[in-house]
Amino acid sequence: MTVEIIDIGMGNIYSIQNLLYKLNIDAKIITTVEQIKSDFLILPGVGSAKLYMEKLQQSKFDKAIIKHIKANKRLLGICLGFQILGEYSQEDGGVQGLGLLKGYTSKLGNNISNNQWINFHLKKQNLIESKWLPQAKLSRKQSIDGRVFYNHEYGFVCEDKNVYSQSISLGLDKYSSIVIDKNIIGVQFHPEKSQTMGIELLGMVL
């Protein structure tokens, strides 16, 4: 199995590649849409939403990602790469998203950012009920439980009651920590920087 990491010139690409290597998964960094070969794409996200979307459009990854999802292939969006999958973001005065997830991104609050480790749990049953089918079968675990690392000022508000969405914490219950919708998983935290929990999460979903 090969996982392809989309590189649009922004983000901590090597961290994600390192996480996949720890799982013995072949990870390839791709910079053009012509290089897409895998059934599993990772869309990392660091930066401002406006510049990020501009770079997605310039590289034509915006349309390629939509095509990939419509072909029933899988995608993992991380942080901004998750938020951009929604309908729009309030960041940078408003940015249109890819519209793959029903919901929007809004600011956590004035002068508020969520830079911390927070407990997170996920059951394999949540994946099955959301019709997400792991293919690599790297783990037999039925659930994972531990802490994950967040570093963000904006959060995704899920407006689709038919998909699996887990809130970040009691204080940030409006915002999603993870959304699973058939062949799309979006996570607000950074699995690539969540130590053993990152490995366990990827092991479960791949």
Q: Residues 114, 167: contact at Cβ < 8 Å?
A: no
The catalytic position among 4, 68, 79, 91 is 79
Contact between 4 and other proteins per CB under 8 A: no
The catalytic position among 91, 152, 190, 200 is 190
User: Annotated catalytic, 79?
Assistant: yes
The residue within the footprint of other proteins, chosen from 12, 90, 106, 166 (CB under 8 A), is: 12
Q: Name the nearest CA neighbour of 147 among 195, 108, 205, 180.
A: 195
Residue closer to other proteins by CB (options 61, 164) is 61
Residue type present at position 110: N
The catalytic position among 91, 152, 158, 192 is 192
Query: What x/- string results for residues 79 through 118 when contact with other proteins is judged by CB under 8 A?
Result: -x------------------------------x-x-xxx-
Cα distance between residue 198 and residue 12, in whole Å: 15
Q: Name the nearest CA neighbour of 155 among 135, 133, 177.
A: 177
Contact between 58 and other proteins per CB under 8 A: no
Q: Residues 103, 159: contact at Cβ < 8 Å?
A: yes
Q: Residues 6, 30: contact at Cβ < 8 Å?
A: yes
Q: Which 108-167 positions form the footprint of other proteins (CB under 8 A)?
A: 111, 113, 115-117, 149, 151-153
Pairing between strand 88-89 and 95-96? antiparallel
Query: What x/- string results for residues 178 through 197 when contact with other proteins is judged by CB under 8 A?
Result: ------------x-xxxxx-
Measured in whole angstroms, the distance separating CA 176 from the mean position of its chain's CA atoms is: 11
| Shortest Å distance, C-beta 173 to other proteins | 19
Residue type present at position 61: F
Q: CA angle, corner 184, sides to 95 and 178, nearest 5?
A: 80
Within 13 Å of residue 67, how many CA atoms lie on the same side as its CB? 9
Q: Which 61-80 positions form the footprint of other proteins (CB under 8 A)?
A: 80
Residue closer to other proteins by CB (options 183, 194) is 194
Residues that bind other proteins (CB under 8 A): 7, 9-15, 18-19, 21-22, 29, 46-48, 51, 80, 111, 113, 115-117, 149, 151-153, 190, 192-196, 198-199
Residues designated catalytic: 79, 190, 192
